[in-house]
Chain A
């Protein structure tokens, strides 16, 4: 079983829509969780860390569900500029595991 599973999509949504991505992880001892954004042919950039209490940054909300071992990213009021690939990263000790990425295209 993979350490991290992520729906690759693609997700094609209209501007203004709300879209959510999930990522499941297999190791219950995992301690750190992140969402990254990767634009085409560029390096991934940290979007937000995911805390146990959940966290929000503007239109973006990240949540952690330890019982079901998944993290989620919610994007509200999608903008064209949100089109990218979103990667989840799960850390266990000194090891970090990436999801395959979810492709999002926001359509005018």
Chain B
């Protein structure tokens, strides 16, 4: 089946530093990837939609200058959390739809802890 590989799975960083999260579609091309954030005991919340070769579309309330998204190829999208703060600590997940009505395939998620 379709696989989305996400790295790193866990990262601890100091406040003020930047963290990059990668998502790769391994066996399909993803013109669109979705980035979600999930706080404890809450649902997945869409942050942004990443489009290959063009600017990402951000959801209301998500700072585009803080959460930089790059989708330079059909198989790779990256999310960079810039100047991270403790309140950015969360579970970040990417996903893409391989197509054919098969729904989403999710990456394994990245647990970010900012100390």
Q: Give me the interface of A with B, judged by CB distance under 8 Å.
A: 32, 34, 36, 41-46, 49, 87, 89, 94, 96-101
Contacts and interface: CB of A to CB of B under 8 A. Distances in A.
B103 A99 contact: no
Contact of B43 (A32, A41, A49, A87): A87
Nearest to B91: A41
A104 B104 CA distance: 22
B34 A96 contact: yes
A12 B44 CA distance: 22
Interface string B80-115: 000000000001010001000111111111010000
Contacts of B49: 94
Nearest to B45: A98
B32 A94 contact: yes
Given A46-B104, A96-B97, 16 more contacts: A32-B101, A32-B103, A42-B108, A43-B93, A43-B109, A44-B44, A44-B93, A45-B106, A46-B103, A89-B104, A94-B49, A96-B34, A96-B46, A98-B44, A99-B43, A100-B43
A101 B107 CA distance: 18
Contacts of A99: 43
B60 interface: no
B103 A49 contact: yes
